Amino acid sequence: MSSRVRSLFIASGAVAALLVSACGVASQPAAGGQPSELRLGYYANLTHAPALVGVHDGYFQHELGSVALKTNVFNAGPDAVTALLSNSIDATYVGPNPAINAFIQSHGEAIRIVSGATSGGAELVVNDSIQSATDLKGKTLSSPQLGNTQDIALRWWLKQQGYGVNSQGGGDVKIVPQDNASTLTAFEAGRIDGAWEPEPWATRLVLEGKGHVLVDERSLWPSGEFTTVMLAVRTDFLNRYPTTVQHLLAGQLKAIDFMQQNPAQAQKDANAQITSITGKALKDATVAAAWPHMTFTMDPIAASLKTSADHAFQLGLLKDEKLDGIYSITILNNVLVAAGRPAVVAS
């Protein structure tokens, strides 16, 4: 294991230890045993559309009632879970690998996954010099951040193609983790040859960067289903305020129902929320092209999480792959059953 990766583990462990010793400091209870606010993290990506719509259309705040919703926007999962572990937020939408790492580094104490949100919505987009995996040797690719969900997917897929890669970015294929906007700029300028990106960035690489999809990640999973985004909550917050978490999940369910029943309006609302965050709207054609790549679901698709953990472990980017206790879906199933939906399984 590289010194860089080891330092990431040590830092995460230190943050987790801090959380265990001083958790719950920022969430003060209000009347009725509820917190005064819920601090929620998510990204300005279309894969986080349940959060985008839930915030923009007020589904979360309506269900939370007197509990004020405070939001924080992140670029990638490692930043989001660092905020979660340091008690800067109470819950966050996040990809599987950062959630797994947070759980492992805190010895199973710090977080619980309480729901799914999105399946699919990640592709490897490359330039025209690359027509197959055999063309990748010596090329430079990007991912959103070292150890994030797409980064693990890229490294694992390259390994299956026979390529050697390492956490410093070297090997048969060079990997340069960088934020999504920088990746698009670098691809357009020819400084990188491709990237494994979430939506809408994968579609933007195609439409604006003139690239093409080499790998749609759905093709690598049974029935094309794998968890891309889930909802993780600090264990302390979940234990203290289960009713608040229930209200948040009820809001998410209403958001997803709306998205499934009104996809055109949901696309506009998600784009409007991205605009309010970034100051720049996505092109309607980009949103429309990206939307069918994703499925929005409350199901955490637990089997794919275990597979992702195994991949990260074998790549040396996770020190353990034991996930017993990472899920807490009793509240989720209460919400689903109350709405007349079937319960989900996370085992």
- Whether residues 104 and 131 fall in one domain: no
- Whether residues 216 and 129 fall in one domain: yes
Band (pLDDT 50/70/90 cuts) for residue 11 is: very low
> Is residue 343 domain-resident?
no
pLDDT in tens, 64-120: 999 999 999 998 888 899 999 999 999 999 999 889 989 998 999 999 999 999 999
Q: Provide the token pair at 334.
A: 């209460």
Give the predicted TM-score (pTM) of the model: 0.86
How many helices (H) and strands (E) would you count in the chain?
14, 11
Residue 2 to residues 5, 29, 146, 316: CA-CA distances in angstroms? Answer: 5, 43, 13, 9
Does 87 or 320 have the greater pLDDT score?
A: 87
Beta-carbon contacts of residue 23 (< 8 Å; ≥ 6 apart): 87, 234, 235, 236
> Is residue 165 domain-resident?
yes
> Is residue 72 domain-resident?
yes
Last residue of a domain, one of 186, 204, 224: 224
- Whether residues 126 and 116 fall in one domain: no
Structural domain span for residue 201: 122-224
Element housing 120 (H / E) = strand 111-120
CA–CA gap between residue 311 and residue 308 (Å, rounded): 5
CATH code for position 160: 3.40.190.10
pLDDT in the model for residue 210: 98
Domain count along the chain: 2
Cβ(171)–Cβ(165) below 8 Å: yes
CA–CA gap between residue 328 and residue 339 (Å, rounded): 19
> Is residue 345 domain-resident?
no
> Is residue 291 domain-resident?
yes
CA–CA gap between residue 172 and residue 179 (Å, rounded): 22
